[in-house]
Amino acid sequence: MDIPAAGSAAWPAEGLHVPGPVARQAQEERGTPWPQPLVSHYARYFRDGNRTAYEGLVAARQQRLTRAVVMALASGPGSPGADGVDAEAWLDEVIDGAFLLCEQSSWSWAAHDDVFRRTGCVVPDLATPYLDLGAGEVAAQLAWLDHVLGLQLDDRAPGLRRRIREEVAGRVIRPFLDRLDWHWLGLDGDVHNWNPWIHSNLIAAALFLVDDPDTRAHTVARCIEGLDRFLASIPADGAIDEGFAYWWNGAGRALEGLALLEQATGGVLDGGLPVVRELVAFPHRMHIGGAWFLNVADGPARAAAALPWDMLHRWAARLGDPEAAAHAAAMATGAPDPAAGLGRVLHALLEHPEPASNALPLVAATYLPSVQIMVARETAGTVQGLFLAAKGGHNGEHHNHRDVGSVVVAVDGVPLLVDAGQPTYTAQTFGPDRYGIRAMQSKWHSVPAPFGLEQGTGRDFAAGVLNAPTPERPQLELALGAAYGFEPLAWIRTAELRRAPGRITIADRWDLPAPGAGGTSDIDITFLTAGTLVPGPDGTATVRPDGIPAVGAANATPRGAALRWDPAAVVVLVDEWELDDPLLADAWGPRLTRLRFRTTAPAAPSPAFRAAGAFTLTVEATP
């Protein structure tokens, strides 16, 4: 099992075309001190919950090394590159960065390391390395740079490649082979995105850095078992409950691992499985318009810059999915971002799709029953007009937010009734107080709050599908009562896009028993809005995209959403959410606004009391 040699065989003789921003930053940082993560940065996670102080420096170090590898390849052996710096100088930059990784006490991110739980220490335990996402990323980066620059490294820094192999064996390969208690293996039935992310990186490490054939074969075989568990967990419709953003570091990683296995076996292992075909279609099915995608769970609403669309394009073209291929080609920029990782950058430089000549597919409607997600737009093939997404599901999903029954509405490709998405991760994010974070709470999603209650956490707090949509009639009717601990039919929500006359309706009706402990007499129906909310005459309001970053560049005259309701049925409350989190502010601007429609139930006179009612919100595009 082997991968064809890179270097002289794969890279153009005249050198690679390095994107300008990559080259400029590499030139500016060469010869300057490298980013230096310190124990005080590592310890912050255990002291105050901060993850970014350490992880940011680790990422900066690895991205600099990726840029140096690309510049060394572009320079070519023994000849100056386009920037006038000879290859040896860039090789020295690579050598320094690789050796710093070998010297780095931990490749694990502090947020994942079990050292504090096991020992009470806030410094890494060298004797017991933790195999997590961060460790897998370092191992794969060293594997790829060894693969493409190995001979030059032998000439320039004899002994470095041996050191790399020793570190990868001790920190990654042996812990992987010696232990079966890693939670991300999925042996307990809970298979999530860590599984393919780590396994695909381990495949690269085994193929390029493990010289003993038995150990290499054993490692790869275990990785194949792991990827099989992940693929077996994917529903037939290819849906990812973590959403579009995590697709790239879950399903996308699995596709990369499958491609490596195919190449290493000369096609004996064929990854073109039926479920893979559905996985490949998932990203474009979730597309709203521009860089906006339907975000659920911990996903941001805008696509990151460092996404390997070229990888998705290759799979879509191979599997004969023209819509997925056209979408990936249109989204690919041809300028890989080092934040994507060295392996992804190298693939993008070698082969990237030509820009699509045809329009984005922008499908008219999609329904994924495994996650109860409906996506529909007013007119296929264009962002112009209304877009509706409605979600059922349950509150035990991976990276779960309490969002059962939520809706997202966009006008001309810009979300205006929104899901806030992922805030900056801290120790609280994945701890027992996760739902103390506002972005995770049902009260800050576009869902009901009967008697002021939060939705519950776990698979039992779920929606039931009463009527599923069809492409011709995108209407999803859900029973939401169980999400709040009531009988399912206690609350019914129907979300529908009516293409003619161009209108969205979100209709709620309820028949509730008396509130339990912690409940109030208030029945709220909440919608979270982005941009600027402008109240109108009674029973109307407008949501304009003013203030949402980058909207003006994409839409010369952006339209808004006109909201209407029966003013006699409810009291309207408005709450501003000033965004001090950088990830949320980057997506939405300075604030989000919560619009609450409230009706008050009379005091319960007896245990047999029930509160019944109905409310409908309609949404149209402004002229």
pLDDT of residue 621: 97
Question: Given CA atoms 445, 567, 533, 519 in this order, what sign does their dihedral have?
Answer: negative
3-state SS record for 594-617: EEEEEEECCCCCCCCCEEEEEEEE
Pair 306, 382 in one domain: no
Q: In the predicted model, is pLDDT for residue 238 greater than 50? A: yes
Q: In the predicted model, is pLDDT for residue 85 greater than 70? A: no
- Among the three residues 329, 361, 393, which one is the final residue of a domain in this structure? 361
Tokens encoding 94: 């690579």
pLDDT of residue 396: 96
Pair 373, 319 in one domain: no
Coil, strand or helix at 115: helix
Q: Is residue 567 assigned to a domain?
A: yes
Q: In the predicted model, is pLDDT for residue 553 greater than 70? A: no
CA-based diameter of the chain, in Å? 89
Q: In the predicted model, is pLDDT for residue 157 greater than 90? A: yes
Contact 37, 106 (CB under 8 A): no
Q: Is residue 41 assigned to a domain?
A: no
Pair 587, 501 in one domain: yes
Q: What is the DSSP letter of 36?
A: -
Task: From residue 401, give the alpha-carbon distance in Å to each of 251, 340, 578.
Answer: 20, 26, 20
Give the Cα separation of 74 and 60 in Å (integer). Answer: 21
Give the Cα separation of 241 and 243 in Å (integer). Answer: 5
Question: Which of the four pLDDT bands, split at 50, 70 and 90, describes residue 86?
Answer: confident
Give the Cα separation of 410 and 416 in Å (integer). Answer: 5
Give the Cα separation of 499 and 493 in Å (integer). Answer: 19
Pair 357, 369 in one domain: no
Question: Which of the four pLDDT bands, split at 50, 70 and 90, describes residue 81?
Answer: low
Please choose, from the candidates 23, 119, 35, 20, the residue with its C-alpha nearest in 3D space to the C-alpha of residue 70: 23
Percent of the chain with pLDDT over 70: 93
Contact 122, 46 (CB under 8 A): yes
Out of 154-168, 219-233, 381-395, 505-519, least confident range:
505-519
Q: In the predicted model, is pLDDT for residue 136 greater than 70? A: yes
Q: pLDDT of 298-354, one tens digit each? A: 999 999 988 999 999 999 999 999 999 999 999 988 778 999 999 999 998 887 666
Pair 345, 385 in one domain: no
Q: 234 or 558, which is more confident?
A: 234
Q: In the predicted model, is pLDDT for residue 206 greater than 70? A: yes
Coil, strand or helix at 277: helix
Give the Cα separation of 303 and 292 in Å (integer). Answer: 6
Please choose, from the candidates 532, 501, 491, the residue with its C-alpha nearest in 3D space to the C-alpha of residue 615: 491
Question: Which of the four pLDDT bands, split at 50, 70 and 90, describes residue 19?
Answer: confident
Q: pLDDT of 358-406, one tens digit each? A: 578 999 999 999 999 999 999 999 999 999 999 999 999 999 999 999 9
Total count of domains within the chain: 2
Question: Which of the four pLDDT bands, split at 50, 70 and 90, describes residue 561?
Answer: very high
Tokens encoding 292: 């906006």
Q: Is residue 224 assigned to a domain?
A: no
Burial 103-123 (b: 16+ CB within 10 A, else e): ebebbbbbbbbebbeeeeebb
**Residues in the chain, how many?**
623
Give the Cα separation of 554 and 550 in Å (integer). Answer: 7
Cα of first residue to Cα of last residue in the chain, in angstroms, is 62
Residue 438 neighbours by CB under 8 Å, 6+ apart:
420, 444, 577
Pair 311, 413 in one domain: no
Backbone angles phi and psi of 385, in degrees to 5: 105, -160
Q: Are strands 448-449 and 532-535 parallel, antiparallel or unpaired?
A: unpaired
Tokens encoding 222: 């275990």
pLDDT of residue 352: 64
Give the Cα separation of 142 and 393 in Å (integer). Answer: 40
Task: From residue 56, give the alpha-carbon distance in Å to each of 323, 372, 453, 568.
Answer: 36, 36, 37, 52
Q: What is the DSSP letter of 171?
A: I
Give the CATH number, domain containing residue 577.
Answer: 2.70.98.70
Coil, strand or helix at 476: strand
- Can you give the pTM of this predicted structure? 0.93
Q: Is residue 163 assigned to a domain?
A: no
Pair 378, 309 in one domain: no
Single-letter amino acid, residue 373: I
Give the Cα separation of 520 and 450 in Å (integer). Answer: 9
Over range 35-54, report the average pLDDT.
96
Q: pLDDT of 137-148, one tens digit each? A: 999 999 999 999
pLDDT of residue 355: 57
Q: pLDDT of 456-503, one tens digit each? A: 999 999 999 999 999 999 999 999 999 999 999 999 999 999 999 999
Give the Cα separation of 606 and 513 in Å (integer). Answer: 10
Q: Is residue 5 assigned to a domain?
A: no
Q: Is residue 343 assigned to a domain?
A: yes
- Among the three residues 361, 390, 406, which one is the final residue of a domain in this structure? 361
Contact 31, 9 (CB under 8 A): no
Percent of the chain with pLDDT over 90: 84
Coil, strand or helix at 385: coil
Give the Cα separation of 561 and 66 in Å (integer). Answer: 44
CA–chain centroid gap for 275, Å, is 20
Residue 467: strand pairing partners? 477
Residue 485 neighbours by CB under 8 Å, 6+ apart:
453, 456, 461, 516
Pair 487, 603 in one domain: yes
Backbone angles phi and psi of 121, in degrees to 5: -90, 150
Pair 572, 596 in one domain: yes
Q: Domain range for residue 336? A: 268-361
Give the Cα separation of 436 and 238 in Å (integer). Answer: 31
Give the Cα separation of 139 and 201 in Å (integer). Answer: 7
Q: Is residue 34 assigned to a domain?
A: no
Over range 23-37, report the average pLDDT.
96
Give the Cα separation of 331 and 323 in Å (integer). Answer: 12
Give the Cα separation of 598 and 76 in Å (integer). Answer: 68
Q: From the CB of residue 381, how many other CB atoms can be counted at a distance below 10 Å?
A: 13
Contact 378, 387 (CB under 8 A): yes
Q: 11 or 40, which is more confident?
A: 40
Q: In the predicted model, is pLDDT for residue 83 greater than 90? A: no
Out of 9-18, 210-219, 266-275, least confident range:
9-18
Q: pLDDT of 242-252, one tens digit each? A: 999 999 999 99
Pair 572, 437 in one domain: yes
Pair 440, 414 in one domain: yes
Q: Is residue 170 assigned to a domain?
A: no
The answer to whether the bond into 338 is cis (omega within 30° of 0) is: no
pLDDT of residue 1: 41
Mean pLDDT of the chain: 92
Question: Which of the four pLDDT bands, split at 50, 70 and 90, describes residue 267?
Answer: confident
Tokens encoding 165: 């192999």
Out of 4-8, 112-116, 154-158, 221-225, least confident range:
4-8
3-state SS record for 504-551: EEEEEEEEEECCCCCCCCEEEEEEEECCEEEECCCCEEEEECCCCCCH
Tokens encoding 172: 């990654």
Pair 476, 578 in one domain: yes
Contact 108, 132 (CB under 8 A): yes
Give the Cα separation of 104 and 142 in Å (integer). Answer: 13
- Among the three residues 361, 376, 391, which one is the final residue of a domain in this structure? 361
Q: 13 or 141, which is more confident?
A: 141
